Amino acid sequence: MRPNNENTKRKWILIFNDRQLYLMLIPGLVLLIIFRYIPMAGLVIAFKEYNVFQGIWESPWVGFQHFINLFTAPDFMNILRNTFIISFYKILFGFPAPIILAILLNEINNVTFKRICQNIFYLPHFLSWVIISGLAFEVFSKNAFINDIIKLFGKEPIFFLGDPKYFRGVLVVSDIWKNVGWGTIIYLAALTSIDISLYDAAKIDGANEFQQIIHVTIPGIIPVISVTLILRISQIMDAGQDQILMMYNALVMKVSDIIDT
């Protein structure tokens, strides 16, 4: 029993010595409990016929009826397929975008120009999807400059927001434009942790800028890329409810209606 008591005493001494760090954890833990764990009790609403006047707890219990209605709906498979396809496209094309942008920004030596570029790329993240959808309508409408360019090549204008063949592409492009700048923050931070001596060694070995990126920069941030990819894949069922609600219409409903909408 004595060794156990000594180990316990040693642990409490270590905790006391780091008491300031543990105190700093308290606000984060409180926020986590309030906004992540307590709301989980509201999941019971999925098994009830919710009535806003009766509240969650007083609303009648219906068991799995809502799930039965969902899984037996005639268009359920199409909705499920749309959810996976749109989310997969966003991962395939959207996930590498902030990595590439972070590497490009990291190669800029002019600090002032680099900060200006960062602010320009960060700005769209703070715009709501209401504003982004309005910009998308201006850019991808039949009378937009994109169709003016298409007309110059003798082609017919394309209604991107009303054509099922192009609408998913519009969703992916607008999502990348909105979030690519914000996604670079974590990768720029990871790039600062790479040992400068590795670049010096690569230069001595005759590596050019591109080879340094391939053999030093990317391997240096692979652990961060792996973690963020795992976290992104865990959200594959989130295809972007706000974005699609703001941008889709009856013409593209077949290829854009997802579980959330």
Three-class SS state of 207: coil
Say whether pTM exceeds 0.85.
no
Q: What is the pLDDT of residue 15?
A: 84
Tell me: pLDDT of 147 over 70: yes
Position 1 pLDDT exceeds 50: no
The amino acid at residue 55 is G
Domain over 78-256 is classified CATH 1.10.540.10? no
Assign 259 a pLDDT band (cuts: 50, 70, 90): confident
Q: What are the φ/ψ torsions at residue 55 (nearest 5 degrees)?
A: 85, 175
Instruction: Give yes or no for a contact between 247 and 133, defined as CB atoms under 8 angstroms apart.
Output: yes
Joined together, the tokens standing for residue 254 give: 């077949």
237 pLDDT tier (thresholds 50, 70, 90): confident
Give the domain ranges of the chain.
1-72, 78-256
Return d(Cα 31, Cα 51) in angstroms, integer: 29
Q: Which residue has the tokens 């769209």?
A: 124
Q: Is the pLDDT of residue 5 over 80?
A: no
Coil, strand or helix at 51:
strand
Per-residue pLDDT of 203-236, as tens digits, reads 888 888 888 888 889 999 999 999 999 989 988 8
